[in-house]
Amino acid sequence: MTNSWTLQTKLLHNKHKYDKTTGGVSVPIQHASTFHQENFDGSPKYDYSRSGNPTREALEEAIAELEGGVRGFAFASGMAAISTAFLLLSKGDHVLVSEDVYGGTFRIVTEVLTRFGIDHTFVDMTNLHEVASSIRPNTKVIYIETPSNPLMKVTDIQGITKLAKANNCLTFVDNTFMTPALQRPLELGADIVLHSATKFLAGHSDVVAGLAVVKGEELGKKLYQLQNAFGAVLGPQDCWLVLRGLKTLHVRLKQSQESAEALARCLRNHPAVQAVYYPGLEDHPGASTQRYQADGAGAVFSFELKDEIAVKTFVSNVTIPVFAVSLGAVESILSYPAKMSHAAMPKEERYKRGITDGLLRLSVGLENIDDLKKDFLQALSHIEASRVLER
Amino acid sequence: MSKDHIETILAQLGNRTENVTGTVSAPIYLSTAYRHSGIGESTGFDYTRTGNPTRKVVEEAIAKLEGGDRGFAFSSGMAAIQTILALFKQGDEIIVSADLYGGTYRLFEDFRKYGLSFLYDDFQDLKKTEDLINDHTRAIFLETPTNPLMQETSISAVSELAKKHNLLFIVDNTFYTPVLQRPIAEGANIVVHSATKYLGGHNDVLAGLVVAKGEELCEKLFTYQNAIGGVLSPFDSWLLLRGMKTLSLRMNKHQENARELAKFLEQLPEVTDVLYPGKGGMLSFRILKEEWVDPFLRNLTLICFAESLGGVESFITYPATQTHADIPEEVRIQNGVCNRLLRFSVGIENVEDLKRDIQEALKAASKEAVGQHD
């Protein structure tokens, strides 16, 4: 019965909508680390909180249902989820990774997996021929992020999963930017969906969490063994906070996306803005693929100013957004990839990927759109003013 | 009032309140006591009942949103109202809404033992209201819209009456919140909230808030908040703040769904009346037969049959046995809260899903009830 409700309704009504013992409509926070075992010989459902916790289970079942998978897993951070998933691989295996993958994932792949004898190739996932020709006999996983960070390049998920299946590979998709409210990769053939739930899923800049959802039972068992073995599980209190955030996911994302599009359109007409990267704009190269595989373009976009000086002027004059790393919150967050997420990358490599010194990434929050426009336009006007002074 | 729009103020609540770490989410200060460097060198915080940094963020937030001078957070809406009652003394009379939340009614009736008197009025004819005012009258306590009959009263009209007779004017703004109604701008002296409802919004924190206008009144309220001590805990203050960040979004969605459902309910043959003021997320409706109530509630699969309101999940309440059980049946029915009346707190689910749930449950209920009679 509940399966026939829309996703918007499912966010609020799932099997954990009320507690069976008391009728409480908010999932109880079960802090117990261990559980009394009634039967001497029985195998209890819960024995130790790392292996299974009722609050975590509620979150894991919720995300599994939302992503359309068979099993969900909650981890202490997005990186804990991603690294646990990568450890499904063994020595001698090879993985294909989006060339503009998130910096934290880049670090795991290049600095940790290599030590375990797991090799990698970075490819431009928007180019399916390049992906196909990079597949080796020992390639076991194709790992994608779409839209990518920070340039919002769109990868054809179904194209990748078909290639992967034909070559006996698994497809992992980081769905952090879209969430299941906009994009459900498992329905498009992916095997594992990964999330930094710190972002849109929780949505309030107040909890660090990671989630994974798998499509197949067999893969689910394997990932469960790893989750339990490594033990980077999410604490009950944090599970509850993510569950609480999920309840407003639909309304938050809808509002933020609407504002993101309006602000992107406003900025791209400004003389101080050289480019706006948002797959919701018609002239974005990934716009049609995005329309086909997702229900919207999300709430994050990047835009380019002339240079570092222009960025500095803009950042010191803009007042509403928080100038910080992270994204997907109720507050708008402005990031400077050159000095934040991609600081570790050599300048040459960074420029090759289009991440210039003038690039800013914006995650649009829930502020009033007129306030945001006003704030951005006044901050941009200072760039103009300083140019005039230079002359 | 800040120049920013309310959505902007809400999304940014708690941000930039702490300068040491730059944290975006306000910290939860669990410390009960605060160290002083020396005699007379308080940080502004001494003991957490008197003042707590996390509670202060939520108190300043509600004061700003309601356009008052100072805000106060309590452990429940009832604790908030009880603290307001501390402003009065033996012999004082207060004129209150007749169609009042049952908990407030119970508290007022109980306070008669301290020599306070409460006169109930529906505020539909302010001449009649004025006739109730005498030398002992000290205040007017208004709920608008009323619960569960959803009658709106003009705040500014009552406010004029209150000013004319030098009465303290208190408005319970729980149902509309500052997103839809700001009573202080219309002349109220005190606004009170059960913040458990729309402000918290997730059915997971119990809280009350008070905002007052005027230095002297604020000072008195602070004295009683500190003296009585029914304050909101730091963790609950933080949860409330977290909820308030999405208040505007939620309220818009609640209202959009409620408007749509009011229209939908009106055309159902099983429904006789729909009481909806056109604003907000609350509506009440009467179904054709009293014996359908129980099977209707049992057959709902999506909407919860539960007390309380204002959360993201839809709730249906049966005032006769739940919120208004403490009001004598005779008085209750006379006020229009009959045994066929249901109160609906419309959630933010997809509205088509909600319609389907109601329609299916009503159909099943009318069949079951017929079955019983056969």
Contacts of A324 in chain B (CB under 8 A): 22, 24
B35 and B160 both lie in a single domain: yes
User: Is B304 in contact with A12 (Cβ distance < 8 A)?
Assistant: no
Percent of chain B whose pLDDT exceeds 90 = 76
**B31/A280: higher pLDDT:** A280
Contacts of A1 in chain B (CB under 8 A): 301
Sign of the dihedral through C-alpha B79, B81, B86, B90: negative
Confidence band, pLDDT 50/70/90 cuts, at residue A2:
very low
Query: pLDDT (tens digit, 9 = 90+) per residue, B290-319?
Result: 999 999 999 999 999 988 899 999 999 999
B215 and B259 both lie in a single domain: no
Spatial CA neighbour of A320 closest among A381, A379, A253, A259: A379
B56 and B184 both lie in a single domain: yes
Q: Where in B124-235 does DSSP place strands (E)?
A: 137-143, 168-172, 190-194, 208-212
For residue B142, tell me if it sits in a domain: yes
d(CA B293, CA B340): 7
User: For position B2, what pLDDT does the model report?
Assistant: 53
CA distances, B41 to each of B38, B52, B223 (Å): 5, 17, 21
Among the listed ranges A27-31, A273-277, B34-38, B83-87, which one has the minimum average pLDDT value? Answer: B34-38
By residue range, what is the domain housing residue B45?
6-244
For residue B171, tell me if it sits in a domain: yes
Q: Which of B204, B313, B348 sits opposite A251 (nearest CB)?
A: B348
User: Is B242 in contact with A329 (Cβ distance < 8 A)?
Assistant: no
Confidence band, pLDDT 50/70/90 cuts, at residue A249:
very high
End-to-end CA distance of chain B: 64
B271 and B226 both lie in a single domain: no
Averaged pLDDT, B103-125: 93
pLDDT at B1 exceeding the cut of 70: no
pLDDT at A389 exceeding the cut of 70: no
d(CA B287, CA A99): 61
User: For position B94, what pLDDT does the model report?
Assistant: 98
Q: Are B288 and B340 in contact (CB under 8 A)?
A: yes
Averaged pLDDT, B94-118: 91
User: Of B228, B244, B260, which marks where a domain is finished?
Assistant: B244
**A365/A387: higher pLDDT:** A365
Cα B64 to chain center, whole Å?
18
Query: pLDDT (tens digit, 9 = 90+) per residue, A57-102?
Result: 999 999 999 999 999 999 999 999 999 999 999 999 999 999 888 8
Confidence band, pLDDT 50/70/90 cuts, at residue B368:
confident
Q: In what order do the strands lie in the sheet with B341-345?
A: B271-275, B282-287, B341-345, B315-317, B304-305
Contacts of A370 in chain B (CB under 8 A): 5
B197 and B298 both lie in a single domain: no
B231 and B261 both lie in a single domain: no
Confidence band, pLDDT 50/70/90 cuts, at residue B137:
very high
User: For position A390, what pLDDT does the model report?
Assistant: 58
Name the active-site residue from B49, B289, B355, B363: B49
CATH code of the domain containing B281: 3.90.1150.10
A284-293 as b/e: b if 16+ CB within 10 A: bebbebbeeb
d(CA A188, CA B321): 50
**A164/A48: higher pLDDT:** A164
Among the listed ranges A117-121, A337-341, B296-300, which one has the minimum average pLDDT value? Answer: A337-341
Contacts of B349 in chain A (CB under 8 A): 5, 8-9, 12-13
Averaged pLDDT, B92-119: 92
Nearest chain A alpha carbon to B242: A204
User: Of B191, B210, B244, which marks where a domain is finished?
Assistant: B244
In degrees, to the nearest 5, what angle opens at C-alpha B357 toward C-alphas B356 and B362?
A: 100
Query: pLDDT (tens digit, 9 = 90+) per residue, A287-321?
Result: 999 999 999 999 999 999 999 999 999 999 999 99
pLDDT at A13 exceeding the cut of 50: yes
Confidence band, pLDDT 50/70/90 cuts, at residue B19:
confident
For residue B322, tell me if it sits in a domain: yes
List domains and CATH numbers for chain A: 2-246 (3.40.640.10), 249-390 (3.90.1150.10)
What are the two backbone dihedrals, phi and then psi, of residue B171, each rounded to the nearest 5 degrees? -125, 130
pLDDT at A391 exceeding the cut of 60: no
For residue B329, tell me if it sits in a domain: yes
User: For position A387, what pLDDT does the model report?
Assistant: 66
Q: What is the dihedral of CA A26, A32, A38, A39, to 10 degrees?
A: 110
B37 and B184 both lie in a single domain: yes
Q: Where in chain A does DSSP place strands (E)?
A: 71-75, 94-98, 119-123, 139-145, 170-174, 192-196, 210-214, 275-277, 300-304, 322-323, 333-335, 359-363
For residue B1, tell me if it sits in a domain: no
User: For position A30, what pLDDT does the model report?
Assistant: 87
Confidence band, pLDDT 50/70/90 cuts, at residue B374:
very low
Averaged pLDDT, B267-287: 97
B224 and B254 both lie in a single domain: no
Count of residues making up chain A: 391
Q: Which of A12, A205, A368 sits opposite B313 (nearest CB)?
A: A12
Average pLDDT, chain A: 93
Confidence band, pLDDT 50/70/90 cuts, at residue B147:
confident
pLDDT at B68 exceeding the cut of 90: yes
Average pLDDT, chain B: 93
- Provide the number of structural domains found in chain B: 2
pLDDT at A146 exceeding the cut of 50: yes
Tokens of A187: 């329905």
Is the ipTM here above 0.90? no
B177 and B269 both lie in a single domain: no
User: Is A5 in contact with B349 (Cβ distance < 8 A)?
Assistant: yes
User: Is A371 in contact with B4 (Cβ distance < 8 A)?
Assistant: yes
Q: Is B374 a catalytic residue?
A: no
**B189/A48: higher pLDDT:** B189
Among the listed ranges A251-255, A271-275, A280-284, B96-100, which one has the minimum average pLDDT value? Answer: B96-100
B261 and B362 both lie in a single domain: yes
User: Is B246 in contact with A367 (Cβ distance < 8 A)?
Assistant: no
User: Of B244, B268, B291, which marks where a domain is finished?
Assistant: B244
CATH code of the domain containing B106: 3.40.640.10
Query: Residue B345's beta-bridge partner residues?
Result: B282, B315
User: For position A38, what pLDDT does the model report?
Assistant: 75
* Residues of A belonging to the active site: 50, 102, 174, 199
Q: Is the pTM of this model over 0.80?
A: yes
